[in-house]
Amino acid sequence: MNPERPPNGVLLEVHNISLAFGGVKAIEDVSFDIRDGEIRAIIGPNGAGKSSMLNVINGFYHPQQGSITYKGETRSQMKPHHAASRGIARTFQNIALFKGMSTLDNIMTGRNTLMKKNVIWQALYYGPARNEELKHREFAEHIIDFLEIQAIRKTPVGRLPYGMQKRVELGRALAAEPDLLLLDEPMAGMNVEEKEDMCRFVLDVNEEFATTIALIEHDMGVVMDISDRVVVLDYGKKIADGTPDEVRGNQGVIDAYLGVSHE
Amino acid sequence: MFYREAGQFKTSYIADQSILPIAQDRVFVFGFMAVAFLGVPWFIDSYWANAIFVPFLAYALAAIGLNLLTGYCGQVSLGTGGFMAVGAFATFKLITLFPDLNLIIVILLSGAITAAVGVLFGIPSLRIKGFYLAVATLAAQFFLVWLFNKVGWFFNYSPTGQITMPSVEMFGVLVTGPSASPAARYLFCLGFVVLFALAAKNIVRGRVGRSWMAIRDMDIAAELIGIRPLAAKLSAFAVSSFYIGMAGALYFGVWLGSAEPIEAFGVEQSFLVLFMIIIGGLGSILGSVLGAAFMTLMPIFLKNFMVDGLAVEVVTAKHVEITLMGVLIVFFLIVEPHGLARMWQILKEKLRLWPFPY
């Protein structure tokens, strides 16, 4: 929906990815690209392989075939921590926060890959280790301000309501200062107001932090409103790829969502 | 009413991140430390040192170590007794091989050796979790004790199989051996525990501690945000074993003086330290110390109460004491499953409002 944005280079490209669990083919020969600075939606009916696709991108699943080009570097597999340190962060469909830790600690954990001081410095907690901690605390506070969660800074996240947990999870992903942010159903289970808040945050992240975003979402209104381009998966295959308007008119997509009569 | 933080504003992140952010806590803890360091040594006698303070301090250090691994990193271990044995035997070997080495360095080195052994036995944790890991560490427990019992080199081929701590001086004062004064032994242990409790607190509020807790709470998410499970779990095993090794060194060197592996470092020790952290509170440094205090002081209190107060026979009292300990453990766990540390926290929250209900 941002036609004024100039066309950018490609940040991530997946080529002919196939992923199978035993005999179940989760993804078959899917290729698409994500351009620098865009909001890219991945949609499709349940079981289409959307979450699996995200898991492939950030290295949690290893595809049997195909390769991924990220920032000009092509590889067929990536370790999750490697992907994280290269600037890919994500949130999860079912909230995967660290429930025993406070909001602040969860967000600080997101900055783990950026912190370097070893355990002996940490034990002293003086000089370099403390300075490092304070520097990152400042950034964490920046994110807390951005997401408007100051009041729950020290609350254990297990006690927070669902919508807040989703927000904290976004904060944890943002803390890593990612270049590519993968959001797995960020608005699932939210009411209209919470969805609007979350949409606003996603758009702001995209603009203020210049973060490229790939999101999975079932709410078509949201997808059509905020995304620049949409890729549609069905039964592990790509059936459409283009701007929201192109996808909306695509017969294959309509069939996949509404079903086809077999007369 | 007496415990209010109203009006105490934090103007820097340093102040906000301090261990004791509330002034009343600071006064209480510093007062407590002053009594522990300056008051207790004046009246401590050999009964108080041998029966209460020194074992309590040694166990507190072991409990902190196990809590780092189990409470913070979520890796259940039943090998504590075995790792304490490693610390004790390392101290014995080092002190007999290099009699001139400073005792503090000997104990730190024993901790380091235990850390290496701990990492070795922590490798299975990369594949197995929960109860299965507990059984794997149980293997470490039995293997280590067997090793120290069988291989003569470890106990210098002494005919009884026992190891005996020689008398060692620190700053011109004997701290180990039969003729060391109770106050010196107490202060030596107290110094270690306070220093390393502080270090543990620092570790758990920093990057390393957060990566452990992340692994404990949601290991898959932790991996996806860039925490390497290998590094996090093995560092937890290393640091935890370092503490437990030092605890073993104090337990053998300063408290027992002489030890025999099966009796002193059996699987009961592993369970005892595990009970301490469960009762004290998993994932709490304060809880480790409170748990150690409960498990070492309560039996003595019960015994004294029954023998002196109710004039029960000593043998009967012993049996009743064991039963009562079991009952108390169950009672405490039902009342507060998150342990004494949580109770302490609730008490503080109540004190904020007391005597007004809202």
Q: How many CB atoms lie within 10 A of CB A263?
A: 3
H helix or E strand, kind and range, residue A239: strand A237-242
- Residue B11 located in a structural domain: no
Q: Are residues A196 and A258 in the same domain?
A: yes
pLDDT attached to residue A1: 40
Render pLDDT for A196-249 as a digit per residue (tens, 0 to 9).
Answer: 999 999 999 999 888 999 999 888 888 888 999 999 998 888 988 989 888 888
pLDDT attached to residue A4: 44
Chosen from B64, B202, B224, B235 to mutate, greatest number of chain A CBs within 10 A: B224
Tell me the mean pLDDT in the region B26-51.
Answer: 85
User: Which chain A residues touch B230 with a CB distance below 8 Å?
Assistant: none
Q: How far apart are CA A178 and CA A182, in angstroms?
A: 10
pLDDT attached to residue A263: 64
* Pairwise CB contact (< 8 Å): A112 & B226: yes
**Of A161, A177, A193, which marks where a domain is finished?**
A177
- Residue B123 located in a structural domain: yes
Kindly tell me if the per-residue pLDDT of B83 is higher than 90: yes
Q: Are residues A77 and A140 in the same domain?
A: no
Q: Is B217 on the interface with A (CB under 8 A)?
A: yes
A residues 17..76 contacting B (CB < 8 A):
58, 60
Kindly report the nearest CA distance between residue B14 and chain A, in angstroms: 7
CB-nearest to B203 from A123, A130, A172 is: A123
User: Which chain A residues touch B209 with a CB distance below 8 Å?
Assistant: 122
pLDDT attached to residue A5: 45
Kindly tell me if the per-residue pLDDT of A115 is higher than 90: no
Tell me the mean pLDDT in the region A77-103.
Answer: 87
pLDDT attached to residue A163: 87
Domain, as residue range, for A12: 1-87+178-263
Q: How large a percentage of chain A has pLDDT more than 70? A: 96
Q: Is A211 on the interface with B (CB under 8 A)?
A: no
Place of tokens 């036995």: B121
Q: Is B9 on the interface with A (CB under 8 A)?
A: no
Structure tokens at B137: 């560490």
Q: Are residues A171 and A252 in the same domain?
A: no
* Pairwise CB contact (< 8 Å): B213 & A98: yes
Distances (CA, A) of A206 to A173, A177, B230, B346: 13, 12, 33, 43
- Residue A6 located in a structural domain: yes
Q: How far apart are CA B165 and CA A111, in angstroms?
A: 47
Q: Are residues A23 and A50 in the same domain?
A: yes
- Residue B199 located in a structural domain: yes
H helix or E strand, kind and range, residue A230: strand A229-234
- Residue A92 located in a structural domain: no
- Residue B7 located in a structural domain: no
* Pairwise CB contact (< 8 Å): A81 & B208: no
Render pLDDT for B94-129 as a digit per residue (tens, 0 to 9).
Answer: 998 988 888 899 999 999 999 999 999 999 888 888
Q: What is the mean pLDDT of chain A?
A: 87
pLDDT category at A189 given cuts 50, 70, 90 is confident
User: For chain A, what is the domain count?
Assistant: 2
Q: CATH number of the domain that A54 lies in?
A: 3.40.50.300
Size of interface A-B (CB pairs under 8 A): 105
* Pairwise CB contact (< 8 Å): B225 & A125: no
pLDDT category at B1 given cuts 50, 70, 90 is low
Q: How many CB atoms lie within 10 A of CB B155?
A: 22
> Is the peptide bond prior to A128 cis by the omega test (within 30 degrees of 0)?
no
Q: Are B29 and B42 in contact (CB under 8 A)?
A: no
- Residue B296 located in a structural domain: no
* Cα R_g (chain B), whole angstroms: 21
Q: State whether the Cα torsion B191-B168-B184-B62 is positive or negative.
A: positive
CB-nearest to B217 from A99, A110, A129 is: A99
Q: How far apart are CA B355 and CA B358, in angstroms?
A: 9
Identify the residue with better confidence: B177 or A137. A137
Kindly tell me if the per-residue pLDDT of B235 is higher than 80: yes
- Residue A76 located in a structural domain: yes
- Residue A211 located in a structural domain: yes
Q: Are B28 and B3 in contact (CB under 8 A)?
A: no
Length of chain B: 358
Q: How far apart are CA A4 and CA A207, in angstroms?
A: 13
- Residue B98 located in a structural domain: yes
Q: Is B219 on the interface with A (CB under 8 A)?
A: no
Q: Are residues A79 and A199 in the same domain?
A: yes
Q: Are A79 and A111 in contact (CB under 8 A)?
A: no
Write the Ramachandran bin of A91: left for phi over 0, alpha for psi from -120 to 50, otherwise beta.
beta
* Pairwise CB contact (< 8 Å): B210 & A112: yes
| DSSP for B112-169, written as a single string | HHHHHHHHHHHGGGGT--HHHHHHHHHHHHHHHHHHHHH-GGGGTT-TT--EEPPP-E
* Pairwise CB contact (< 8 Å): B226 & A124: no
* Pairwise CB contact (< 8 Å): A172 & B220: no
Tell me the mean pLDDT in the region B231-255.
Answer: 93
Q: Are residues A3 and A83 in the same domain?
A: yes
- Residue A202 located in a structural domain: yes
pTM (predicted TM-score)? 0.89
B residues 264..323 contacting A (CB < 8 A):
283
Domain, as residue range, for B60: 45-266
pLDDT attached to residue A3: 44
Chain-centroid distance of CA B352 in Å reads: 30
Alpha helices in A111-242 (DSSP H): 119-124, 128-146, 162-175, 192-208, 220-226
* Pairwise CB contact (< 8 Å): B220 & A173: no
Residue B192: which of B69, B281, B107 has the closest Cα? B107
Render pLDDT for B270-298 as a digit per residue (tens, 0 to 9).
Answer: 999 998 998 898 889 999 999 999 988 88
pLDDT attached to residue B358: 64
Residue at B246: amino acid letter: M
Distances (CA, A) of B127 to A260, B116, B124, B226: 46, 19, 6, 19
DSSP state at residue B176? S
Q: Is A209 on the interface with B (CB under 8 A)?
A: no
**Of A154, A177, A200, which marks where a domain is finished?**
A177
| DSSP for B285-343, written as a single string | HHHHHHHHHHHHHHHHHHHHIIIIIS---HHHHHHHHHHHHHHHHHHHHHH-TTHHHHH
Backbone φ and ψ of A65, nearest 5°: -135, 160
Helices B229-250 and B80-97 cross at an angle (nearest 10°) of 60
User: Which chain A residues touch B208 with a CB distance below 8 Å?
Assistant: 118-119, 122
Place of tokens 């075939």: A65
Q: Is B338 on the interface with A (CB under 8 A)?
A: no
Kindly report the nearest CA distance between residue A262 and chain B, in angstroms: 43
Structure tokens at B308: 């002196």
H helix or E strand, kind and range, residue A212: strand A212-216
Q: Are A196 and A219 in contact (CB under 8 A)?
A: no
Q: Are residues A148 and A21 in the same domain?
A: no
Q: Are residues A185 and A249 in the same domain?
A: yes
Q: Are residues A61 and A78 in the same domain?
A: yes
Q: How many CB atoms lie within 10 A of CB B108?
A: 16
User: Which chain B residues touch A125 with a CB distance below 8 Å?
Assistant: 202, 205-206
- Residue B167 located in a structural domain: yes
pLDDT attached to residue A22: 86
Q: Is B77 on the interface with A (CB under 8 A)?
A: no
> A128-134 long-range CB contacts below 8 Å, 24 or more apart?
A129/B202, A129/B206, A130/B14, A132/B207, A133/B17, A133/B206, A133/B207, A134/B13, A134/B14, A134/B17
Highest mean pLDDT pick, A46-50, A115-119, B307-311? A46-50
- Residue B74 located in a structural domain: yes
* Pairwise CB contact (< 8 Å): A81 & B226: yes
Q: Is A125 on the interface with B (CB under 8 A)?
A: yes
- Residue A255 located in a structural domain: yes
Task: Using DSSP bridges, classify how beta strands A237-242 and A229-234 pair: parallel, antiparallel or unpaired.
Answer: antiparallel
DSSP state at residue A8? -
Question: Can you tell me the ipTM of this complex?
Answer: 0.86
Q: Are residues A72 and A132 in the same domain?
A: no
Q: Are residues A21 and A140 in the same domain?
A: no
Kindly tell me if the per-residue pLDDT of B37 is higher than 90: no
**Of A143, A158, A177, which marks where a domain is finished?**
A177
User: For chain B, what is the domain count?
Assistant: 1
User: Which chain B residues touch A97 with a CB distance below 8 Å?
Assistant: 217-218, 221
Q: What is the mean pLDDT of chain B?
A: 87
| DSSP for B206-261, written as a single string | SHHHHHHHHHHH-HHHHHHTT--HHHHHHHHHHHHHHHHHHHHHHIIIIIISEE-H
Kindly tell me if the per-residue pLDDT of B160 is higher than 90: no
Q: Are residues A173 and A190 in the same domain?
A: no
Q: How far apart are CA B107 and CA A205, in angstroms?
A: 52
* Pairwise CB contact (< 8 Å): B218 & A99: yes
Render pLDDT for A43-84 as a digit per residue (tens, 0 to 9).
Answer: 988 888 898 999 899 888 899 988 898 888 888 778 888 888
Q: Are A89 and B225 in contact (CB under 8 A)?
A: yes
- Residue A93 located in a structural domain: no
